Structure 1
Amino acid sequence: MLAKANSGGPTSDPKQLSVDDLPATRYGGMAYVSAIRGHKTIGSACLCKVNTSRHISIRPQAFVMLYRVLPSTKAMWLTLKKPEGREHLRRLLNWEEFDELRDSRRSILLDTLYESIIFAVGKGFPWGEVAQVVKFTEELLKETKGCSVTEAVTILGNKLRDHQGQFNTTHLLALCDYFHNTFIRHYKLYQYVLGQDRDVNLTVTNLEVCMPPQPLPLAEGKDREVWKHEQQLEGLSTAEVQKRTHMLLLKGALRLEQQHLLRETFSRLPGRQHQTLNREELEKLINEAIHIQIECLKELLQYEIQITFDILDLKLQKKTLNLKAPIPPLVPIAGQSGQDEALKLSKTNKGKKAKAKK
């Protein structure tokens, strides 16, 4: 419910109701309780008249179903959790299942009726009066639709006065206090939710959920420090391969550039390709070709020297990492052979550290 009043524990034991105890009350233009008394069959098919209007209302036979519930059910309402109690009430009212998100109006109405039951049961209303409280709540919501707060208070007072014969003074005052502290206090909110249609803008998106990969068996796992060490070594090895690949690409690019410059030099000869060159022209051509080759070779050597230094630096880093390799946790091995293996591993690591210091 939008606002819930505090309710105490039951003050009286529920009584078994007979058909003759049902009040002769008219609901929706049909004296259904009188018909029940005449037919002597609660919930008979002849009484199941369906309300076909668009207004969300409780059908008369729904209250008959409430009367049919055993008196022990009264205590059950206090023990059921709210979702279970709401579902139980929905079935008693013969409501079809609905989507709580898409049909929030029906959901709030069900909350309101459920809270009225919890209030009545908690205040110790007899079971027959509990059903009347639910009926009272539904009628009040329907009759105050579109009214002002003043009109709603007047309607509530008139309905309480009309029900003086159905509730004793204590229960009538409790009912008045309950509706003033819940329905009237939050009247505008009730009117907004239950009194007017709303534009529902609901977006439904299908999301594909990918499960995480299946983890490897623990027997194949590695120590965290060992794994980090291997990742660092792998990164250095990858960088070294990239340097060597870059060197090969540079050699190919410089070779192509050298061939292009030589072609341009030979193409500048003024139509003398098929004639004999004199000594001066030949020397000039040879000098230009040698100059081109020297410049290309010089550039290539500079790149090779730089890349070689980079590769040597990477190798040095790998060597340093290997000397600082973390010791994996020793698996307990039974027997002398396991102890000897652990001792050899310890001596090997000490030797590596001594060499690194030198």
Structure 2
Amino acid sequence: MASIDTTLQDIFRMKRDDGIELMSRCFHWTEFDGDDKRQFLHQEFVYENVMYAVKRALPWSTVAQVAHMTKHLLPKFNGLKTSEVIRLVKDQLSQIQPRLSTAQHALLLEFIVKTYVPHQRLYQAVLSGKTGLKHVRSELVIETPPPPQPLCEGIDTVEWQQHQAQKGLLLAQSKKEAEITELKKKTEAQMMEKLQARLHNLPVKGTMSKQEVEELLRSFLQSQGEIIMESLMHEACLTEELLQLKLMQKSQLMDRHVANDPVHVPVATKIKKK
């Protein structure tokens, strides 16, 4: 056992790959004989657990027992569920002499289980030799963005913003004009509806006195006047808003013209020192 202890101390001082290489010569790895990949995974598993035991300051004799235990332990995991793996590790750790303390037992159990369980499906595939994978291939069409336009066809940011503002004002004007047109149609429809209602209320037979005719006309004209007055007030508000939009558009066009006119570009002057 002394020679194993010395070898493990040498492995601990080596780099990882060199340490695994030396460990591969310490034991007879007959479990996966002839399969280099499975053997390396086996050796790697043992190495990780040995290094952890050393870092936890366990005696070298105990570290050697951890190495022997984990070497024989991994092949036994084949086909076991997670709960069965944990039970097996607990049992193997309990057989280490001198007996591990409760804290040491818990730490080694946690590390061995955490080393194995997150990759359980991979380990099971390797242990069982069923590592054939089905490759699913799908071709994705990648659409590249269109090539940018030449710089000579570009537009200045400020100018582009001005164009966008003009487009916004023109759109707002179109909407406002549509509102005015719709208001006029609605007013005309209301007036016709009132007229038809009055005509419908006229007596079918007999005649009306002059006073009745005058009262009917007065009532009709009053109702029509109210509709027209309400419509005109609403139309006046819409027209004012439309004029404001046109003034804004005109103001922007003037500002743009001034900005592009070289005559109005301020020229820096230098003051000569006397």
* Counterparts of 1:23 and 1:349, CA distance in 2: 89
Q: State, as a whole percentage, how many aligned pairs show the same letter.
A: 19
> C-alpha separation between the residues in 1 aligned to 2:69 and 2:48?
14
CA distance in 1, matches of 2:88, 2:38: 29
Identify if the C-alpha distance between structure 1 residues 307 and 7 changes in structure 2 by more than 3 Å, giving closer, same or farther: farther
1:289 CA drift (Å): 2.6
Question: What one-letter code is carried by the residue in structure 2 that aligns with 1:235?
Answer: G
- Structure 1 residue corresponding to 2:114, chosen from 175, 189, 193: 189
Following the alignment from structure 2 to structure 1, what is the Cα–Cα distance between the partners of residues 117 and 161?
Answer: 61
Q: Is the 8 A contact 2:46 2:70 kept in 1?
A: yes
2:172 pairs, out of 235, 239, 243, with 239
Matched, 1:297 2:228: yes
1: CA distance, partners of 2:198 / 2:207: 17
In the superposition, relative to structure 1, how do residues 287 and 11 fare at CA in structure 2: closer, same or farther (>3 Å)? closer
**Aligned: 1:264 with 2:197:** yes
1:147 counterpart = 2:87 = yes
Secondary structure at 2:177 match in 1? helix
1:216 and 1:210 map into 2 onto residues whose CA distance is 18
TM-score, scaled to structure 2:
0.56
In structure 2, how many angstroms separate the alpha carbons of the residues matched to 1:116 and 1:185?
15
Query: Relative to structure 1, is the Cα distance of residues 241 and 25 closer, same or farther in structure 2, using a 3 angstrom cutoff?
Result: closer
Aligned partner (choices 205, 214, 230) of residue 146 of structure 2? 214
Structure 1: runs of 5+ lacking an equivalent: 16-20, 28-58, 66-91, 95-108, 121-133, 159-179, 197-207, 329-343, 351-358
Q: CA deviation at 1:225?
A: 1.5
Give yes or no for contact 1:250–1:300 (8 Å, CA) kept in 2: yes
- Number of residues of Structure 1 aligned to a counterpart in Structure 2: 207
1:130-209 to 2 correspondence within 5 Å?
A: 137=70, 139-143=72-76, 145-147=85-87, 151-154=91-94, 184=109, 186-190=111-115, 192-193=117-118
Q: Does 1:8 align with 2:9?
A: no
Assess, with a 3 A threshold, how the Cα gap between structure 1 residues 93 and 187 changes in structure 2: closer, same or farther: closer
Identify, as 1 or 2, the structure richer in helix.
2
Change (3 A) 1:325 1:156: farther
CA–CA separation in structure 2 for the residues paired with 1:264 and 1:280 = 20
The yes-or-no answer on 1:324 pairing with 2:259 is no
Residue pair 2:86, 2:113 contacting (<8 A) in 1 also: no
Q: Residues of 1 paired with 2:109 and 2:74: CA distance?
A: 11
Q: Over the residues paired in the alignment, what is the CA RMSD in angstroms?
A: 4.9
Measured in 1, the distance between the counterparts of 2:43 and 2:188 equals 90
Structure 2 alignment gaps of length 5 or more = 1-10, 51-66, 78-84, 99-104, 122-139, 267-274
How far is 1:24 from its partner? 7.3
Say which structure, 1 or 2, has more relative contact order (CA 8 Å, 6+ apart): 1
1:46-61 equivalences under 5 Å are 59-61=32-34
